[in-house]
Amino acid sequence: MYVINPSMEAIWLRWLQLFDATGAQIDHERLAAPFFSCGPPDKATVLYVGKATGGSWHRDKFQRTVKERLECTSKWIEAVRNGEYRSAYWHLFLELEARAALNDRDSAAVWTNICKIGVLQGNPRAHYLAFQRKLAIETLRLEIETYRPRLVFFVTGDYADDVVM
């Protein structure tokens, strides 16, 4: 379940524009489709921040709409919660969400990433990170304002630490 917040929708539209206007240094064919976080505003106990999506992030279904991108994320999180996808990364997400629910049954964890535009293999580096750096910082700040989490949990190691700082 997700709510399209007007301020978040505006920034998601900017991500769609950035994806289409990547520039000469970016091999557009190496890019994953944009990822958008989604969750209930004011109910996020944890904002769980990763590096970038793995693989194409449903690029085969990519319709260049906010709604379609949010549905991809919502369905993915639902699958994780139903046990359809398992990894140490998602185990930690579910553990944090479960611990938060002990204190507040109405709480939720929201997943996001530093880079909203991943690459087909690995994580965005060099110019693949640089072209989205400014918008990534702006988006993370807006996500914190919108979701109002009690905890922002970075699962990124030292990846893009200049963005995190």
Answer whether residue 159 is part of any domain: yes
Q: What is the pLDDT of residue 3?
A: 65
Span 1-16, average pLDDT: 84
Coil, helix or strand at residue 5 = coil
Average pLDDT value over all residues in the chain: 91
Looking at the predicted structure, is the pLDDT value of residue 23 above 90? no
Looking at the predicted structure, is the pLDDT value of residue 55 above 70? yes
Q: What is the pLDDT of residue 1?
A: 53
Per-residue pLDDT band for 24 (boundaries 50, 70, 90) equals confident
Answer whether residue 144 is part of any domain: yes
Answer whether residue 48 is part of any domain: yes
Answer whether residue 25 is part of any domain: yes
Span 41-59, average pLDDT: 89
Looking at the predicted structure, is the pLDDT value of residue 157 above 80? yes
Answer whether residue 1 is part of any domain: no
Per-residue pLDDT band for 102 (boundaries 50, 70, 90) equals confident
pLDDT tens for 103-154 read 777 778 999 999 999 999 999 999 999 999 999 999 999 999 998 898 999 9
- Structural domains counted in the chain: 1
Angle at 123 between CA 33 and CA 54, to 5 degrees: 50
Angle at 129 between CA 97 and CA 121, to 5 degrees: 75
CB contact at 8 A, 152 and 49: yes
Closest CA to 71 of 139, 151, 3: 3
Answer whether residue 62 is part of any domain: yes
CB contact at 8 A, 153 and 48: yes
Closest CA to 36 of 52, 21, 23: 52
Coil, helix or strand at residue 108 = strand
Range of the domain at 98: 6-164
CATH number at residue 17: 3.40.470
Q: What is the spatial distance between Cα 23 and Cα 160, in angstroms, rounded to a whole number?
A: 21
Answer whether residue 136 is part of any domain: yes
Q: What is the spatial distance between Cα 88 and Cα 4, in angstroms, rounded to a whole number?
A: 29
Answer whether residue 158 is part of any domain: yes
Looking at the chain, the whole-number percentage of residues with pLDDT higher than 70 is 96
Looking at the predicted structure, is the pLDDT value of residue 5 above 90? no
